[in-house]
Structure 1
């Protein structure tokens, strides 16, 4: 959606609004704000185009005689306040909660640019870097709104990392948030690193490409039996000599859609000039080939759309001694961690494992600087406790489930039985730091696993590992179903 913003003369400065409220004796700085007061402040800060107010004349009957009526109506018309969120009326004098403010602002960002609307959709299933994710306090429906506000830095949470969505918000907190909101409104969601990470985790289960230099490789254009995958085949056929013996081509003439592919050279490259099905030639195959050569074309026996061939017919064409094929790897989709999420990996008769998430943190030189990434403070706020690390590695935190089939399982037995799970580093069982578990309510493997991995037990937990920042053994994995992903390091 393209928006035209108000001119400087028409717009009210966010700073002026904040200063006005700060100097007002009617509202103390640390006093909790009402919905009416918060709506008034946000209404004056937003620079979204003036909305059509015709359909919101009496949206909340309990506002008909209230001073905030016009401000609330404006925010409803802009899509910042949803009428359905207040089925019992707006109740303007009730204390506004932190979540209400975050949802109003996130909805305002979505109204200011389509990229934020998409960001809300992308973060529905993301992992919020807050203790409330596993300890409780944030409802599923609240996640995308909090994610967008956290990802843009408008509100980053309390000192302990919590967001406390049900708590009231003070005037001072809202004033600071409004200044940040003003800078974000109307920009692009892609411009915020933290939000990019949260979006990628929501869509794929990992922030791999957002925080690391690993990039996904494309899927292979070969099937497991060594044959070509049809979707990658751009050209296929048989080169025809101008003195062909058509009788030698009879096995190929029954292929559906078979015809003559006329090629010409342009700037040194062979390009298709036209394609004519055999039944449309109006002459014998020998005559058509001879005419093509006389006209300066190189005729080939093939089909118009190779990707629509059956595997059997493709194999038949390639069996000819003069067959040619052109494969374009760019036609293959990129692999993704999303392809292996929840895809079972059988460790022989020992256990079955499923991966859920893999979160990366960029590590600084030990003792110099802070870890990078929106999940840094969540998983790695005390780097020292993880031992000596340096900026040659990424920290990786993996959430998985293991169902044990054996009477009991030790980790070495599991390692030796992984089978198809030939991924790099996914099954390291280093434990998370105790303070990280305590702070965020995370589960990790215990020191002693003999009574943990017992027959028919299903354990979901987090583990920790590191990956070199290099092209040596980058993350990759293949599951029993054939689902896989590969990455490479792009320096």
Structure 2
């Protein structure tokens, strides 16, 4: 079984490249490649700037008299081959594995543009759409390299979705991959939809922003008690009237970093001129206020950066009757699925749920195209069962854990407890298709849940639900700790 090639790339161009390399080697195109041969092919294809070879002069002593010496040295100097990966020497005549090729190429992309280096970091904990994720066969440290190569389409896996990182590579397979690598090298990681999904899942546990038209809402700048969060505050202070009794300001003068904020009016708007800490005024506070008015400035008592105030000190400033405040919602970060990952959600005394991942697939209107997204084929069997939908939808596949506390627990009991206790109907418990489960080693809820959710049991499984693409209500969830995310449809 061979690698899955992209359309049009297993044809003349790939064969021509194979023939070119074959001219310098007695190895046939379908035979397994050695490390030396693979390094030679990659060395000729990469367009990275010529490196300084001094640091790689004697990196592998077992290459000193080998014909691949200069090619391997070049790849080491470029950062494509890591010396630490070969503590017993490069062993150039040993068969090269699929993972070695993927790591060399992913490292080459990282050397070609900083965005791919960041992509490697972002995908360290992503969900690879391959049966090997749950069935085994891919080590954790291999995930980011495979993710970058999969996300850019350089190698999309075998016909059954596996990558088989320990398997050998033929010359024909590598040649076809190098054609794609050559086009990707030097581009930006953000230009690849599949890689964007894998990066987002690695960082947040969901690909919501990458594949859907839902966008996350910003974190609110209010606390639960109605007070403002300091990080949202652009300016906060106390207006100082010209003849104010400064003795009434005593509680505020103990705030760390407190000082005078001088403002003046420009085109009808108040604009900061300068900020001076009290200890730097060089005069009494009363005299400084008078001096500010004499020179045409409006003084406020405040701090240089109110966003760094403690909640207690911000509340104290705002408690003054002459307090001023400017809040900027853009200072607040966006909510994210990452905020609720592994955060407990209790269903009264029945059970406690935790979410791990929420994966979206773009399902088109029936008969108008194929499902989109890097995870479409991974969940393809389940998607096929929804093929008669009249409206295009997003399918959301959710991985969760439920710990049962009651001896009377089933899905309907859980639904009721969640709705009554936390007021959200986020959880959906449709079962994945048997074909999907068998192919990828996934677990879903059984038909009879009352015997599955036994008291003190801990069950981890996948379920799915659907959202209309123009779903007007928010996709949202709040956990018991107060962590939450909200996402709205935004055309």
- TM-score between both structures, scaled by the size of structure 2: 0.90
* 1:488 and 2:488 matched: yes
Alignment-derived partner of residue 199 in structure 1: 199
Give CA deviations for 1:158-182 in whole Å, capped at 9, x if unaligned.
1111111111111211111111111
* 1:47 and 2:31 matched: no
Matches for 1:22-421 after TM superposition, within 5 Å: 22=22, 26-246=26-246, 249=249, 252=252, 255=255, 257-277=257-277, 288-380=288-380, 383-386=383-386, 388-390=388-390, 392-418=392-418, 421=422
Structure 1 unaligned blocks of 5 or more: 1-12
How far apart in 1 are the matches of 2:65 and 2:279?
81
How far apart in 2 are the matches of 1:310 and 1:50?
53
Secondary structure of the 1:168 match is coil
Over the aligned positions, Cα root-mean-square deviation in angstroms equals: 2.5
The runs of at least 4 consecutive aligned structure 1 residues that moved more than 6 Å come to 13-16
Secondary structure of the 1:271 match is strand
Deviation at 1:236, TM superposition (A): 1.9
Secondary structure of the 1:386 match is coil
Deviation at 1:344, TM superposition (A): 0.9
- The answer to whether the Cα contact below 8 Å between 2:264 and 2:297 also exists between their aligned partners in 1 is yes
Give CA deviations for 1:87-106 in whole Å, capped at 9, x if unaligned.
33323222222111111111
Secondary structure of the 1:94 match is coil
Secondary structure of the 2:377 match is helix
- The answer to whether the Cα contact below 8 Å between 1:363 and 1:390 also exists between their aligned partners in 2 is no
- The answer to whether the Cα contact below 8 Å between 2:15 and 2:172 also exists between their aligned partners in 1 is no
How far apart in 2 are the matches of 1:102 and 1:279?
60
How far apart in 2 are the matches of 1:123 and 1:273?
45
How far apart in 2 are the matches of 1:177 and 1:63?
26
1:232–1:62: structure 2 CA closer, same or farther, 3 Å change rule? same
How far apart in 2 are the matches of 1:88 and 1:244?
79
Deviation at 1:247, TM superposition (A): 5.8
1:204–1:423: structure 2 CA closer, same or farther, 3 Å change rule? farther
Give CA deviations for 1:196-250 in whole Å, capped at 9, x if unaligned.
1111111111111111122222211111111111222222223344454556556
Deviation at 1:84, TM superposition (A): 2.5
Give CA deviations for 1:24-70 in whole Å, capped at 9, x if unaligned.
78232222222222121111111122222233333333333332222
- TM-score between both structures, scaled by the size of structure 1: 0.90
Secondary structure of the 1:362 match is strand
Alignment-derived partner of residue 8 in structure 1: none
Structure 2 unaligned blocks of 5 or more: 1-12
Alignment-derived partner of residue 441 in structure 1: 441
How far apart in 2 are the matches of 1:37 and 1:197?
33
Give CA deviations for 1:298-317 in whole Å, capped at 9, x if unaligned.
33333333334444443333
How far apart in 2 are the matches of 1:286 and 1:81?
69
Secondary structure of the 1:376 match is coil
Deviation at 1:262, TM superposition (A): 2.4
Deviation at 1:453, TM superposition (A): 0.2
Query: After the TM superposition, which of the residue ranges 274-283 and 23-32 deviates more from structure 2?
Result: 274-283
User: How many equivalent pairs are there?
Assistant: 478
Secondary structure of the 1:378 match is coil
Query: After the TM superposition, which of the residue ranges 63-72 and 454-463 deviates more from structure 2?
Result: 63-72
1:475–1:66: structure 2 CA closer, same or farther, 3 Å change rule? same
1:307–1:64: structure 2 CA closer, same or farther, 3 Å change rule? closer
